[in-house]
Copies of this chain bind each other. A is one copy, B any other.
Amino acid sequence: MSDTTGPDAAAGRGRAALIEGGVEFDGRDAALLRAVDAAGSVAGAASALGRSRARALSRIETLEGAYGTLVERRRGGEGGGGSRLAGSARELLDRYDRLQAVLAATASVPETVLRGTVEAIDGEIAVVDTAVGALSGLHGGTGDGADTDSDGDGDAVAVGDPVQVRIGADAVTVNDAANAVDPDATSARNRLTGRVSRIDSGETVSTVRVAVEPVDREATGDAAVDVAALITAESVDRLGLAPGDPVSLRWKATATRLVPHAE
């Protein structure tokens, strides 16, 4: 009962797959490789998973066509032969596991989304004008274009474009407003100040929401913007945070993602 049988009864709210050379590596493939590792043969793995041995073998071959050697197979000999995972297969499984971990994390970590317009672009970093001032963040990754079906998370960000600024709550550090850090001594550039508006306490982790005043309140009439920060409950205690307290938020430009906003 190591595994829940059934068609990939994916548990989380999401499912991720690696892609290389047009071949997807998903949870089913990961299970297959793990079963090969456990059984010591493709045949044993197939029967353990209740799937066709011939198909499992051909699946491994197509995977190897895209990802390189994954299973070292040997026929004849002691026990009739057998198969072992290659080192690259373990790395692949590691990559898959990490992807899964990231996926699980995004499902549970809140994030703050601000709208803004691109003010300047300098390489991978763009400066965006938002209601709470200028923020800088990464736009896109090192994009290789030509994705087949998924429409654009294209990196086509240009000056003047409307974008969403997404800030993961786990990237935001909360600082005591009184104890200002010399901004020249750290690599965290984005800074905002505000007052604690709400604290959602978990078991040992709390989500602190900080109301940040818009830069030009009377001009725009915008309400305060809530920025979420995920910090440990211990930190909440240590900083003595309570609603109304003034705090300073800080996070790195590289932890800020910009996504083009359709309209």
Contacts and interface: CB of A to CB of B under 8 A. Distances in A.
A149 B138 CA distance: 31
Interface in A1-46: 2-5, 7, 9-20, 24, 26-28, 30-31, 34
Interface stretch (A56-64, A69-77, A92-100, A216-224): A92-100
Contacts of A253: 232
Given A16-B14, A231-B254, A125 B27 contact: no
A78 interface: no
A104 B140 contact: yes
B19 A15 contact: yes
Nearest to A30: B151
B15 A24 contact: yes
A173 B188 contact: yes
Contact of A98 (B106, B203, B207): B106
A255 to B, nearest CB: 5
As for how many copies of this chain the complex holds, the number is 2
Contacts of A7: 95
A155 B13 CA distance: 15
A20 B24 CA distance: 21
Given A204-B122, A232-B254, A103 B99 contact: yes
A169 to B, nearest CB: 8
A25 to B, nearest CB: 9
Given A10-B144, A140-B104, A149-B11, A176 B185 contact: yes
Nearest to A200: B143
A230 B3 CA distance: 28
Contact of A170 (B232, B233, B252, B262): B252
A119 interface: no
Contacts of A123: 202-205, 233
Contacts of A30: 150-151
A11 B153 CA distance: 11
Of the candidates A99, A144, A187, A253, the one having the most CB atoms from chain B within 10 angstroms of its own CB is A187
Interface string A130-165: 000000101011111101011111110000000010
A116 to B, nearest CB: 15
B186 A124 contact: no
Given A108-B142, A171-B252, 17 more contacts: A10-B144, A10-B151, A13-B20, A14-B18, A15-B19, A16-B16, A27-B150, A27-B151, A97-B164, A98-B164, A100-B259, A104-B155, A138-B170, A143-B207, A169-B254, A187-B229, A187-B235
A257 interface: yes
